[in-house]
């Protein structure tokens, strides 16, 4: 092993051992099935190599032995009888019909290689899209595949890339780096670390984190900290378990978070509660910010956000007077059209109160591999880069093609016709796509579509010509270098199902066929070692034994010249300071200061629609047992959440004469989706809340498993913010009415 | 072995169902049967800014306190995986002392 300053935990046993006749393998849970986190797991296999049990690894500081229901039930996913087990093909004219033929991997790879080379030669590589789903383990490999093939068009079918990326890009543009709340996750000794400080207050903003476990953040860390004395302030339209234990609960109208943050900034600045020294030394553009927030007096903000004035003031004062204060925020910030200024407003609160790079505040997460931005962009020729879709309209998009522009180009073929799509780990017709029927129509006549997943999905059934069976995480080797604070973790193969291959094996094999020079590795393990070795000094095999490996960490890196490549003090921005007035946004013609714009449609922007569509709709409520469109066929998980639910206040139900427990259509001017009603005081009388990503694996494949009846995104439009980031997934208007018995 | 109990600090139980699923997987229970079951009481508003919303896990007749795991020095499957670390199985007398120390807890006498 090379010399390394990495920190490790002590292991009682090697990473593979025997226990009561079963083989146990220690490793990381990444994914699918399941979420972004990468918890430490112990995988139990029997003598035949079948996965029989999963336990949380008590030695892993990340989750400290704990696991959520999804990883506990992992054997029922990996061993499920409906898994895709071998490659299949289907004639193009049979798209949408359950008419598949089993083929060999050789035939599958030969066909894909032939089609992609043929299209490249005839029309150019940019005419092939490379689309992924939510960013879990796939991002480095699919980006390399896309760019080494010569296409600049890697992306995801999510309007405004409205998940995580807007906050990451936004913070890169203002702070020079992403920030995460310091819950001691960077220290192997966690809460006992002598430098660590328990946050006095944690703002949980647009994120039901104990359920969602998003962005590499183990949600129950907030509970750990509450048990150790942290107060919480919850910004959420719904009453949740967290809000019921909060010092303050701000029941914000969906989509108005920016207004709330600007109102709080107004209070903190006008009452001179900000950290004068920090602002003076490390921030740029404070006077302009102070001028801007005058446009957001508390009484106006109260009217916009539905939050009483006294609560806005109390939250602002609490933030300014609590040291340290941390922010755990979520996708609700991204899933509003003007996501960039929303994220800018919220993060600015933590800058001017001096909570950056301090223990228990907001820290720049250590990274071993840059997670957002892809791997191997240098492989793409300069002339190919100019053909990236949406690049002229939305210069803030630095790596991926802009999703809304892709949909437009699929329809118009301007400036060039898109010919094919490589789709990996993305069931977008059930999950992330806005207006899924529009996208289906735009996609259905492409020349060629290849698709990789662990189960058959409505998206594959609707569109694919070739389906490749992907491994779940216990069937593969891998490294966990993802979102949040990175640590060196390995995913370790313990079992095999059918002919499934891992996403990385599939990408390596296809990459070697399409551009062998860009893929010089014989095995995925060699590729992982290549990715790891520079930073960690370890091979993949060494890391398997040693993981988790914690990169050395220091606080207050801006005071030590550790945040900039040039070694200068300060932050990695043009001015070297946190830019409250962003030169980055200004340079691309965007407003350099944060602002609020009413979501549209909405009660503030289109009051004339309220008569027909009287309720504010918010979507994407998370539940314990399902990750996005996964787990619907896992009976034990489905039993915890059997139906798509819309939560409505009992008084609202009474007003519209709708029965609790009945089925309704949730409908607006764009479309409708079927839901079961749950009456609850948890939501305001003026709104309703629903979960997302529904389809019925038990349904009819030829009807695409009822996806177009159930997909709540029937009510959501492809409609990004001015920067190209953000979209109104979490804010729309709707009405609800009972479903007829015949429907 | 001494009398075994289960102490649940329901101030912190988030209702995540990890105890339930861990128990079912450990003991091979079919879907719908379990050694521990999580129930939610609420939400309802008691007065402005005060809500009733608690989760409580209740052991069933099929809970055997994971005595085989305890004998090997492991935690019971539910306690091992409890995400809020608010559930403990142990000696009844010791848990009864802990019960007195803090309100909003419940103690079950298992065996």
pLDDT in tens, A477-522: 999 988 889 999 999 999 999 999 999 999 999 999 999 999 999 9
Query: In chain A, what residues touch B31 (CB-CB under 8 Å)?
Result: 635-636, 639
Helix (H) or strand (E) holding B48: none
- Can you give the CATH number for the domain in which B102 is found? 3.30.70.20
- List pLDDT tens digits, range A533-576: 988 999 999 999 999 999 999 999 999 999 999 999 999 999 99
- Interface membership of A56 toward B (CB under 8 Å): yes
Tally of CB atoms within 10 A around A741: 6
Nearest CB to A72; choose among B14, B81, B85:
B81
Chain B interface mutation, best of A39, A62, A67, highest count of B Cβ atoms under 10 Å = A67
Q: What's the mean per-residue pLDDT of chain B?
A: 97
Domain layout of chain A by residue ranges = 1-81+479-500+531-553, 85-158+398-469, 180-362+568-587, 607-738
Q: Which fold has domain A85-158+398-469?
A: Rossmann fold (3.40.50)
The three state secondary structure string of A68-130 is CHHHHCHHHHHCCCCECCCCEECCHHHCCCCCCEECCHHHHHHHHHHHHHHHHHHHCHHHEEE
Please answer yes or no on whether B43 and A682 come within 8 Å at the CB atom. yes
Average pLDDT over residues A418-447: 98
- A1: pLDDT strictly greater than 50: no
Please identify which residue in the block is written with the tokens 């193969």: A493
Please answer yes or no on whether B84 and A53 come within 8 Å at the CB atom. no
Which residue segment(s) compose the domain that B83 sits in?
Answer: 4-109
Q: How far is B71 from chain A (nearest CA, A)?
A: 13
Q: What long-range pairs does A247-250 form, CB within 8 A, spacing at least 24?
A: A247/A201, A247/A318, A248/A311, A248/A314, A248/A315, A248/A318, A249/B49, A250/A305, A250/A307, A250/A311, A250/A312, A250/A315
Please answer yes or no on whether A223 and B14 come within 8 Å at the CB atom. yes
Helix (H) or strand (E) holding B69: helix B67-71
Query: Would you give the DSSP letter of residue A518?
Result: G
Chain A interface mutation, best of B23, B25, B66, B71, highest count of A Cβ atoms under 10 Å = B25
Residues 185-214 of A with CB under 8 A from B: 210-211
- Tell me, what's the pLDDT at A372? 67
Burial of A5 (0-12, 13-18, 19+ CB in 10 A): exposed
pLDDT category at A742 given cuts 50, 70, 90 is confident
Identify the residue with better confidence: B37 or A372.
B37
- Alpha carbon distances (Å) from A333 to A207, A340, A632: 9, 9, 27
Q: What's the mean per-residue pLDDT of chain A?
A: 96
- A2: pLDDT strictly greater than 60: no
Beta strand ranges found along A252-313 (DSSP E): 283-284
Nearest CB to A56; choose among B12, B32, B80:
B80
Q: Give how many domains chain B has, as a whole number.
A: 1
CATH code, residues A1-81+479-500+531-553: 2.20.25.90
Looking from the CA of A414 toward its CB, the CA atoms found within 13 Å total 2
Task: Report the distance separating Cα A543 and Cα A1, nearest Å.
Answer: 9
Tally helices (H) and strands (E) across chain A.
25, 29
pLDDT category at B1 given cuts 50, 70, 90 is low
The question of ipTM being above 0.95 is answered as yes
- A190: pLDDT strictly greater than 90: yes
Q: How far is CA B4 from the centre of its chain?
A: 13
Least confident of A20-29, A570-579, A734-743: A734-743
- List pLDDT tens digits, range A461-473: 999 999 999 999 9
pLDDT category at B58 given cuts 50, 70, 90 is very high
Please answer yes or no on whether A72 and B18 come within 8 Å at the CB atom. yes
- List pLDDT tens digits, range A586-597: 999 999 999 999
Average pLDDT over residues A328-344: 97
- Alpha carbon distances (Å) from A633 to A82, A673, A695, B99: 8, 20, 10, 41
Q: How far is A246 from chain B (nearest CA, A)?
A: 9
Please answer yes or no on whether B81 and A66 come within 8 Å at the CB atom. yes
- List pLDDT tens digits, range A33-60: 999 999 999 999 999 999 999 999 999 9
- Tell me, what's the pLDDT at A642? 98
- A450: pLDDT strictly greater than 50: yes
Average pLDDT over residues B57-84: 97
Query: Would you give the DSSP letter of residue A501?
Result: B
Average pLDDT over residues A319-329: 98
- Tell me, what's the pLDDT at A743? 80
Whole-number percent of chain A with pLDDT over 70: 99
CATH label, A180-362+568-587, candidates 3.40.50.300, 3.40.50.11030, 3.90.1200.10, 3.40.228.10: 3.40.228.10
Pick from A300, A256, A304: which is nearest to A599 by CA?
Answer: A256
- A77: pLDDT strictly greater than 90: yes
Task: Report the distance separating Cα A613 and Cα A592, nearest Å.
Answer: 35
Q: In what order do the strands lie in the sheet with A248-250?
A: A248-250, A231-235, A201-205, A325-329
Query: In chain A, what residues touch B12 (CB-CB under 8 Å)?
Result: 223, 226-227
- List pLDDT tens digits, range A224-241: 999 999 999 999 999 999
Q: Which CATH class is domain A607-738?
A: mainly beta
- Determine the residue of chain A that is closest to B68 in CA distance: A20
Identify the residue with better confidence: B23 or A399.
B23
Nearest CB to B21; choose among A65, A69, A223:
A69
Task: Report the distance separating Cα A394 and Cα A155, nearest Å.
Answer: 14
């Amino acid at each position: 092993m090379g010399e390394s300053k990495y920190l490790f935990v002590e292991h009682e046993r090697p990473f593979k051992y025997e226990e009561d006749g079963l083989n146990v393998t220690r490793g990381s849970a990444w994914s699918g099935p399941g979420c972004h986190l990468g918890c430490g797991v112990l995988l139990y296999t029997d003598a035949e190599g079948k996965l029989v049990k999963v336990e949380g690894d008590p030695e892993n500081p990340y989750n400290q032995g704990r696991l959520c229901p999804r990883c506990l039930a992992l054997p029922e996913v990996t061993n499920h009888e409906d898994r895709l087990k071998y490659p299949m093909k289907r004639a193009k004219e049979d798209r949408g019909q359950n008419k598949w033929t089993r083929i060999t991997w050789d035939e599958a790879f030969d066909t894909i290689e032939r089609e992609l080379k043929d299209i490249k030669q005839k029309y150019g590589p940019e005419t092939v899209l490379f689309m992924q789903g939510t960013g879990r383990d796939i991002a480095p490999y699919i980006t390399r595949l896309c760019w080494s093939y010569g296409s600049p068009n890697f992306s995801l079918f999510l309007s405004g890339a409205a998940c995580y990326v807007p906050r990451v890009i936004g913070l890169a543009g203002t702070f020079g780096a992403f920030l995460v709340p310091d819950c001691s996750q960077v220290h192997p000794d966690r809460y006992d670390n002598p430098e660590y400080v328990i946050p006095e207050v944690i703002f949980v903003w647009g994120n039901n984190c104990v359920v969602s476990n998003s962005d590499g953040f183990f949600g129950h860390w907030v509970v750990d900290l509450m048990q150790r004395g942290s107060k919480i302030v919850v910004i959420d339209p719904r009453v949740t378990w967290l809000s019921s234990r909060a010092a303050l609960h701000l029941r914000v109208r969906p989509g108005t978070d920016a207004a709330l943050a600007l109102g709080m900034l107004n209070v903190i600045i006008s009452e001179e509660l900000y950290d004068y020294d920090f602002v003076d030394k490390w921030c740029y553009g404070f006077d302009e910010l102070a001028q801007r927030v005058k446009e957001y007096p508390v009484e106006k903000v109260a009217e916009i956000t539905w939050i009483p004035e006294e609560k806005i003031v109390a939250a602002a004062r609490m933030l300014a007077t609590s040291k340290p204060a941390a922010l755990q925020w979520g996708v609700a910030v991204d899933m509003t059209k003007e996501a960039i200024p929303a994220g800018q407003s919220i993060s600015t609160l933590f800058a001017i109160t001096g909570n950056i790079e301090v223990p228990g505040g907001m820290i720049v997460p250590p990274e071993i591999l840059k997670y957002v931005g892809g791997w191997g962009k240098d492989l793409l020729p300069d002339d190919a880069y100019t053909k990236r879709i949406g690049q002229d309209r939305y210069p803030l998009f630095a790596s991926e093609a802009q999703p809304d522009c892709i949909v437009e180009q699929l329809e118009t073929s301007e400036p060039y016709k898109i010919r094919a799509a490589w789709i990996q780990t993305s069931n977008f017709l059930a999950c992330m796509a806005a207006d899924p029927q529009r996208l289906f129509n735009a996609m259905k006549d492409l020349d060629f579509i290849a698709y990789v997943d662990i189960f058959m999905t409505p998206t594959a059934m609707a569109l694919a010509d070739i389906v490749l069976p992907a491994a779940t995480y216990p069937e593969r080797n891998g490294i966990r270098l993802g979102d949040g604070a990175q640590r060196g973790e390995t995913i370790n193969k313990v079992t095999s199902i059918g002919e499934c291959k891992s996403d990385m094996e599939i990408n390596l094999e296809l990459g070697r066929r399409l551009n062998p020079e860009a893929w010089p590795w014989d095995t995925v393990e060699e590729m992982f070692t290549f990715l790891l070795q520079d930073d960690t000094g370890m091979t993949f095999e060494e890391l398997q034994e040693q993981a988790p490996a914690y990169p050395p960490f220091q606080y207050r890196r801006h005071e030590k010249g550790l945040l900039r490549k040039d070694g200068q003090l300060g932050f990695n921005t043009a001015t070297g300071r946190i830019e409250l007035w962003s030169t980055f946004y200004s340079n691309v013609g965007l407003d350099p200061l944060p602002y609020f714009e009413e979501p549209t449609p909405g009660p503030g922007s289109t009051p004339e629609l309220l008569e027909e569509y009287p309720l504010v709709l918010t979507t994407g409520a998370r539940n314990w047992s399902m990750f996005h469109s996964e787990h619907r066929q896992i009976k034990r998980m489905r039993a915890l959440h059997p139906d798509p639910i819309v939560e409505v206040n009992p008084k609202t139900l009474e007003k519209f004469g709708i029965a609790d427990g009945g089925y309704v259509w949730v409908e607006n001017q764009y479309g409708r989706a079927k839901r079961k009603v749950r009456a609850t005081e948890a939501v305001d009388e003026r709104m309703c809340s629903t979960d997302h990503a529904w389809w019925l694996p038990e349904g009819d494949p030829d009807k695409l498993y009822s996806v177009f009846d159930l997909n709540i995104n029937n009510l959501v439009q492809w409609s990004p913010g001015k920067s190209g980031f953000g979209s109104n997934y979490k804010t729309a208007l709707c009405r609800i009415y009972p479903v007829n018995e015949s429907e | 072995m001494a009398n075994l109990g289960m102490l649940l600090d329901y101030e912190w139980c988030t209702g995540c169902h990890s105890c339930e699923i861990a128990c079912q997987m450990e003991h091979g229970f079919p879907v719908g049967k379990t050694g521990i079951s999580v129930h939610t009481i609420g939400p309802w508003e008691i007065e402005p800014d005060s809500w009733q919303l608690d989760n409580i896990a209740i052991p069933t007749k099929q809970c055997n306190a994971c005595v085989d795991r305890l004998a090997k020095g492991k935690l019971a499957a539910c306690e091992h995986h409890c995400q809020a670390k608010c559930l403990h199985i142990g000696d009844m007398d010791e848990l009864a002392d802990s019960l007195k120390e803090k309100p909003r807890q419940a103690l079950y006498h298992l065996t």
